[in-house]
Structure 1
Amino acid sequence: MKLKTSLLALSLTAAMPLTALADDGAERLTDLLDSLETYTADFEQQILDGSGQRLQEARGQMWLSRPGKFRWEVDAPYRQEVVSDGDEVFLHDPDLEQVTVQALDTRVTHTPALLLSGSAAQLTDSYEVSHQQQGDTETFTLVPRGADTLFEELKMTFYGERFGALQMNDSTGQRTAIEFSNIEVNGSIDEAHFVFEIPDNVDVIRDDH
């Protein structure tokens, strides 16, 4: 079954007890995200069913520059690109010879792939945020406030204040878990990463909704 990127795993195995910090979760997440200007990383993504069986896996690279600019490239097993220039989002499927174009939706409940590139205020306005800490690992659980969302729960994990993992659970019990590596925070990124030129001889679908 072909992977369709559902942007954007965590495993807390240490024996020390977890400290739940629900009251200050949104404030703490805002502090961490406000310091994030650019982010580049490699990723490994797994999609699991409700029983934990692996359905799909993929790997690739990502780049982001806040606000609103993002590039997500899946290298294997199937190539795919998702690029945001801050105004529009382009989904390129080379195998299908198809590009889907839509306006960047500032409601982050509708664009989980762009979670990190949006404003922290939008994020905490759109989700109820709880916070758990285990040593220098901090996990934020985000539950959408509205019903019209792509997932029921999102978890963001920071290791030593550096974003390192993302997990999304949908209403069917399916889980998308993404681990990041070779991370660089607030480095220089060529703006060309956020420019997408539609290839010749592809079908272009424009989604105005």
Structure 2
Amino acid sequence: MNDSNKRFPLGRSAFLGSTRTLLSAGLMALFALPAFADANTLLQEFVDKTRTLQGRFVQTVHDRKGRVTQESNGEFAISRPGKFRWVYAAPYSQLIVGDGKKVWIHDADLEQVTVRKFDSAVGSSPAALLAGSNEIGKHFNLKDAGTLQGLSWLDATPMNEEGTFSRVRMGFDGSDLQVMELQDNFGQTTRLRFTGLRLNPKLGNDLFRFKPPKGADVISQD
């Protein structure tokens, strides 16, 4: 296992799901949706109405006993379909960019870039819910999970059982997304809390382009 995997055992995996993609399943409910809508409706409304999305996140990783083993934060931008930029600012700098054709992961301090084809990187990962196409039902089984601790929950179970994540959960307060949880096959849970979300801001194409810096080791995983 290389140093970057030790550093982000679920940080990367959360972003890309089975192939490191965290993006997706959850930012969906901060929009002015009907108060009577269930969680399934909130998700579909998000997919139908969202062209771009931008905001900040705090990410924590919890072990089987619920203890926090890792904490990080940063910001993201999404342009549907297929483009995203996920920036970890602390405790370590890491950049993940999807340009619709490839997914790039850049660890600046390690001078390392990992690249994969977009379809194989995203697939049935959480990213497919947020930055993918509108055909959610092809990759996930969706279920309204009721309410808990004041939030309305949606469960999204990947149809591909070979992925890293066994379940994605999204918690809504009214029509606002508060929390996204990613449960992996090793008993760990990655929890994301979102703030400062902006629906359909104008985003430049340069945000979703990546060129490996000179001197970086480029590793292709396809």
Equivalent pair of 1:46/1:54 in contact (CA under 8 Å): yes
- CA drift of 1:158 comes to 3.5
**For 2:192, which of 178, 195, 199 is the aligned residue?**
178
Percent identical residues = 32
- The CA distance in 2 between the partners of 1:108 and 1:200, in whole Å, is 27
- CA drift of 1:110 comes to 4.4
Equivalent residue for 2:126? Answer: 112
- Can you give the 5+ residue segments of structure 2 that lack an aligned partner in the other structure? 1-5, 16-21, 27-36
**For 2:72, which of 58, 63, 67 is the aligned residue?**
58
Equivalent residue for 1:92? Answer: 106
Alignment of 1:2 with 2:7, yes or no, is yes
Equivalent residue for 1:192? Answer: 206
- CA drift of 1:171 comes to 1.5
- TM-score, scaled relative to structure 2: 0.78
**For 1:151, which of 142, 159, 165 is the aligned residue?**
165
- The CA distance in 2 between the partners of 1:36 and 1:53, in whole Å, is 34
Give the match's secondary structure for 2:201: coil
Equivalent pair of 1:33/1:116 in contact (CA under 8 Å): yes
Alignment of 1:167 with 2:172, yes or no, is no
Give the match's secondary structure for 2:46: helix
Deviations 1:135-180 (A, max 9, x none): 9953210112221111111112334434442110011110000011
- Report 1:13-92 matches (<5 A): 26=40, 28-92=42-106
Amino acid at match of 1:128: N
- CA drift of 1:81 comes to 0.5
Amino acid at match of 1:127: F
Amino acid at match of 1:184: R
- Can you give the 5+ residue segments of structure 1 that lack an aligned partner in the other structure? 11-20
Runs of 4+ in 1 over 6 A off after TM superposition: none
Give the match's secondary structure for 1:119: coil
Give the match's secondary structure for 2:119: coil
Deviations 1:21-52 (A, max 9, x none): 9xx86555223321111110110000000100
- TM-score, scaled relative to structure 1: 0.83
**For 1:128, which of 128, 141, 164 is the aligned residue?**
141
Q: Root-mean-square deviation (CA), in Å?
A: 2.5
More helix by share: 2
Of 74-83 and 151-160, deviating more is 151-160
